[in-house]
Structure 1
């Protein structure tokens, strides 16, 4: 009878295993985390749960033998999911884990160190001038389509109605219309004074107007170009200083905690990512704005030459 009782007790003890461990954070102190929810899910979908105590420890007994996935959750920390563990009957499985605190705005930017301030200045500068340039280019768009505008000007010149052409320029607005308006007004002034006007004189008036319009389109573009170049350099500076700090820690304390070392290196690389995040949009918008300026310059040159030739031909006739 005694033998039967011992056999029964051994069978009960072998009916499952125990999974326990401690959950700490990834800080240097590795402080225990209380209130972490542990979910142990088997291949058949059976789920066992536990919660850590004040010392960060948890324990779940009576888990049937088999392969399980452990996931841990807690508010304010990043979840960790799908950690495999194999449970054997009568086994005591120690399974420690670490959790990383979720960053808020303050703690996230604290990782950048002193490089945060120049990168913040670059990002604010880039955003300010990108919005300002977009507003300028939208405002400088002609209210009349280019082809329609040129056809209207040409029609007015064929009818020798210069003031109608000037009115069309005022109605259209934009750099092209302002430049042509200057040439037309110079031609109109010569007609009022009843004197001949040369092609060079009209072109001079157009060039003077261009010197006012083109710089307005190009304004602040050098600032965007500078920010696009400098931002990655600031990010690289933060990475270099962070790596120096990480390797200094290795020299003093060794590589006993690879996770902590990897965390320091990832924070160092964060500054490079931030620098590229600022530089890439800045470079894209700089190239876009520069192409718009070049297109306006080519358009002004071609259309003004055509209009000047038409004025001179009309003057000769």
Structure 2
């Protein structure tokens, strides 16, 4: 809006140009400078006001439930970040690994393929190693080893993810509980005062609703991280299953 006013001011100066060119230029410069200074000041005040407002609302919500909701956010984010780092480290170039194992089987046999798996990180390489380690017992034994160890690797990928879902459900529930308790406290104040004063009701309801708002915000933030983690796990599991089938085909061809 301020920029619109500055543009209109400049247009008026240019339209009613009864003053000389230098005066018009000076006026335009002054208007732009003043408007820019006002915009910068307003932006700084808005940024400062946002942080102050957030801190104020958090304190108004009460240290009890607001602190617990904040703890849910901190713990949930800590687990989510740990899982994201672990899953990124567990991601393997499955096609490259399969090609290396196939080349090693063709050139150096099972031991060479096992060495390739030992030098590669990730659950797919671990599953490959377990399958190759059971090839002496037959294809069926290797397949059972791959399936069993695949379940173990899947459990490691999903480790602690349930805690994130717990915090997602717990944060809004704590917010709603704070809302109910705040409403009870508001009615207690009304009962003690013996009069329906708007200030008593408004203050209690405001404090009550703040806990709900922060609980929902925490749940939304954690839900985004949770969905990303689940999608990452699904992608890795799909790679594991596809790679396991490919490994069995390689072993069958190797036996033939």
Matches within 5 A, 1:21-100: none
Matches within 5 A, 1:148-187: 148-159=96-107, 161-187=109-135
Q: 1 CA distance for matches of 2:177 and 2:63?
A: 11
Give the one of 133, 137, 154 matched to 2:87.
137
Structure 1 unpaired stretches of 5+:
1-77, 80-101, 191-196
TM-score, normalised on structure 2? 0.70
What does the per-residue CA deviation read over 1:171-219, in whole Å, with 9 as the maximum and x for residues that have no partner? 33101111111111222xx2xxxxxx43220012212322332211111
Q: Which has the higher helix share?
A: 2
1:208 maps to 2:186: no
Aligned twin of 1:50: none
Work out whether residues 166 and 185 of structure 1, in 8 Å CA contact, stay in contact via their aligned partners in 2.
Answer: yes
- Cα gap change, 1:304 to 1:108, in 2 (>3 Å): closer
The secondary structure found in structure 2 opposite 1:172 is coil
- Cα gap change, 1:265 to 1:106, in 2 (>3 Å): closer
Q: 1 CA distance for matches of 2:168 and 2:58?
A: 23
Q: 2 CA distance for matches of 1:226 and 1:211?
A: 23
In our comparison, the structure showing a higher alpha carbon Rg is 1
Aligned twin of 1:44: none
Q: 1 CA distance for matches of 2:164 and 2:100?
A: 37
Aligned twin of 1:193: none
Task: State the shift of 1:104 in Å.
Answer: 8.8
Work out whether residues 235 and 275 of structure 1, in 8 Å CA contact, stay in contact via their aligned partners in 2.
Answer: yes
Structure 2 unpaired stretches of 5+:
1-44, 47-51
Q: 2 CA distance for matches of 1:182 and 1:280?
A: 40
Q: Which has the higher contact order (CA 8 A, sep 6+)?
A: 2
1:116 maps to 2:56: no
Aligned twin of 2:207: 267
Q: Which has the higher strand share?
A: 1
Task: State the shift of 1:115 in Å.
Answer: 1.5
Work out whether residues 189 and 200 of structure 2, in 8 Å CA contact, stay in contact via their aligned partners in 1.
Answer: no
CA RMSD of aligned residues (A): 2.7
Task: State the shift of 1:232 in Å.
Answer: 0.4
